[in-house]
């Protein structure tokens, strides 16, 4: 561990303790646009929003300064649609210090040159979507040629040796049988794999939830993923979290203990704050107001994320 990384680790520990005591988020997701190049079955985003009200890089920075999370996700929509995306990251990043910046993208607009530019301004980790281990990914995202684009681009990026690419799969009833195949593709690209459990909170489509009749099959897949992880596969989720994913669907896509607004929150494109991406129209001017008016009485059980 370098001297700088030791300093950041100490800074992170202190920030985590401070934010925990003050009931401030460990992580925030800045959705810089709700426009998207994709139109995924499992998501409520898709297409270009004309005349979208968008905050400036400096306004996003003021929000960061108010909350001071450890981690900032730059997401969307598709964040690469913002022409000022590099300026946004520059405004938020403190070189040699927190926050840790994660860039969430479907990679349809990502190139090796754009990757290099994003790294230069301070992106620490890339979270890139993958729904299927082949061209079915294109169909689900409604972007022809996207899988082959990933198949070429991701190995070019991981060859840099920065260990900064995690492919993320939104797990649904349609793709869970192929999670091992997705893992093997991702490993071949030199990247890690993360999983996110689908919730109907965005789309209202419950047909994509893993049903009770599919639980036995899903359990086998989870057990296989755990075994692969024990063998050294780069799977971001811990064994405990993988088992809790199963419990989520076993409990009819329900999980208690939501900490939205306390451990995490979402910043909308216009700079308004909302507790999570499923409640983008429940907005507040400050995290303090959100904590008082929403989080204090929040009983939502509709999704599962690891910050619970």
What whole-number distance in Å separates Cα of residue 153 and Cα of residue 174? Answer: 25
In a domain, 308, yes or no: no
Residues of the chain with pLDDT under 70: 1, 3, 306-308
In a domain, 303, yes or no: no
What whole-number distance in Å separates Cα of residue 134 and Cα of residue 120? Answer: 31
User: Can you give the pLDDT at residue 285?
Assistant: 95
Question: C-alpha distances in angstroms, 17 versus 39, 41, 69, 79, 173?
Answer: 39, 39, 11, 30, 38
As to burial, measured by CB atoms within 10 angstroms (0-12 exposed, 13-18 middle, 19+ buried), residue 61 is middle
What whole-number distance in Å separates Cα of residue 60 and Cα of residue 37? Answer: 23
Task: Specify the CATH number for the domain of residue 212.
Answer: 3.20.20.70
What whole-number distance in Å separates Cα of residue 74 and Cα of residue 5? Answer: 22
Q: Which residues are CB-neighbours of 65 under 8 A, at least 6 positions away?
A: none
User: Can you give the pLDDT at residue 154?
Assistant: 99
In a domain, 255, yes or no: yes
Mapped onto helix, strand or coil, the DSSP state of residue 163 is coil
Provide the terminal-to-terminal Cα distance of the chain, rounded to the nearest Å: 30
What whole-number distance in Å separates Cα of residue 285 and Cα of residue 177? Answer: 42
Please tell me what DSSP assigns to residue 252. Answer: T
In a domain, 278, yes or no: yes
Token readout for 46 is: 């898709």
264-267 and 273-274 beta bridge pairing: antiparallel
Domain that holds residue 288: 3-297
Q: Strand pairing partners for 110?
A: none
Chain centroid, CA 293 distance in Å: 25
User: Can you give the pLDDT at residue 214?
Assistant: 99
- Contact 30/75 with Cβ under 8 angstroms? yes
User: Can you give the pLDDT at residue 1?
Assistant: 63
User: Can you give the pLDDT at residue 306?
Assistant: 52
Total domains in the chain come to 1
Where would I find the beta strands (DSSP E) of the chain?
Answer: 27-31, 71-75, 100-105, 125-129, 165-171, 192-197, 264-267, 273-274
What whole-number distance in Å separates Cα of residue 51 and Cα of residue 48? Answer: 9
Q: Report the predicted TM-score, pTM, of the whole model to 2 decimal places.
A: 0.96
- Contact 210/173 with Cβ under 8 angstroms? yes
């Amino acid at each position: 561990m370098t001297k700088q990384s030791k300093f950041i680790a100490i800074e992170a520990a202190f920030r985590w303790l401070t934010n925990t005591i003050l009931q401030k988020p460990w992580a925030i997701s800045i959705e810089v646009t709700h426009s998207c190049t994709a139109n995924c079955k499992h998501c409520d985003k898709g297409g270009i929003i004309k005349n979208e009200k968008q905050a400036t890089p400096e306004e996003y920075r003021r929000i960061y300064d108010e909350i001071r999370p450890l981690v900032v996700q730059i997401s969307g929509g598709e964040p690469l649609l913002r022409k000022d995306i590099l300026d946004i990251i520059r405004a938020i990043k403190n070189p040699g210090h927190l926050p840790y910046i994660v860039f969430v993208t479907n990679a349809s607009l990502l190139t090796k040159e754009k990757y290099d530019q994003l790294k230069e301004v301070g992106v620490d980790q890339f979270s890139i979507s993958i729904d299927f281990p082949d061209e079915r990914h294109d169909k689900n995202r409604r972007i022809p040629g996207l899988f082959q684009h990933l198949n070429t681009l991701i190995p070019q990026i991981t060859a840099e040796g920065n260990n900064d690419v995690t492919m993320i799969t939104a797990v649904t009833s349609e793709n869970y049988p192929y999670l091992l195949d997705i893992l093997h593709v991702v490993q071949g690209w030199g990247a890690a794999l993360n999983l996110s459990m689908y919730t109907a909170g965005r789309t209202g489509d419950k047909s994509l939830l893993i049903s009770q009749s599919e639980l036995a099959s899903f359990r086998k897949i989870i057990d296989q993923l755990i075994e692969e992880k024990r063998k050294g596969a780069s799977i971001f989720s811990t064994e405990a979290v993988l088992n809790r994913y199963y419990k989520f669907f076993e409990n009819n896509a329900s999980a208690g203990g939501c900490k939205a607004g306390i451990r995490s929150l979402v910043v909308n494109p216009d700079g308004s704050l909302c507790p999570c991406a499923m409640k983008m129209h429940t907005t507040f001017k400050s995290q303090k107001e959100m904590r008082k008016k929403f989080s204090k009485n929040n009983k939502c059980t509709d999704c599962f994320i690891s910050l619970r």
